[in-house]
Amino acid sequence: MLVIQELLIKRLFFCSVMMFMSMNVVAGNIYHQFPDEVHPDDKYVFYSHGFIVEGTNERPKHKVWGVYDFPAVKAALKDDSYHLLAYHRPAKTNPNIYAKQLAQEVNTLIEQGVAPENITILGFSRGGAISIATSNALASDKVKTIILAGCAGAIAKNPEIHVYGKVYSIYETSDQVGSCQYVIDRSKDVVSFEELAISTGKSHGAFYRPIAEWVEPVKKWIKSQ
């Protein structure tokens, strides 16, 4: 009898381990294009890089701010609690068209069973502007948005572009691109807004590489929602 009980316990333990391993295999992937298979119970994060990375070079160098290390940023943003979709945009990408394409992909996830609350749009600089435009195209109060030094340029010049739902903003105090508060003030369907000012002295280049000052708050906010 004891032998049978021990075998049953071992079998249950083995099944639990296999289930845990299976869950880990599914979670935490980095996708460079829309995934062939969608997992409805998982979380998804779209990361859009800055303008300088558009083209064929994943590690372009700015004359003042240094190398934008896109591969390192992706690796740092990776997490077992969500899938990261981080595409390398081609040169001369139209940001408005691209934002609509991202919105279509978000809607595809939702159509395939992913809860909108489990989707986050994240972007830096032009990628932040694209994230705001994507939120505007979706007009969803459930899909979340994170903006990294992205409230300038086209966003400032186009007051009809609004952001929706829960919004988190991070900007660098030594950068010309500052707070997103003015975008929030004109957006009537914001559910909540949090903003963090970091002071690294690196200006816009603070987001060129995965430093703890912005990576850790971003991941913490994603996982806390």
Catalogue the E-assigned strands of the chain. Answer: 30-31, 44-48, 61-62, 66-67, 83-86, 119-124, 144-148, 165-172, 190-198
**Model pLDDT for residues 46-83, shown as the tens digit of each residue:** 999 999 999 999 999 999 999 999 999 999 999 999 99
- Pairing mode, strands 61-62 and 66-67: antiparallel
Question: Quick one: pLDDT at residue 225?
Answer: 84
* pLDDT value for 14: 43
Give the per-residue pLDDT at 39: 97
> Could you say which residues of the chain have pLDDT below 50?
2-5, 7-10, 12-26
Domains and CATH numbers, the chain: 28-224 (3.40.50.1820)
pLDDT at 224: 92
Give the pLDDT score at 27: 64
pTM: 0.88
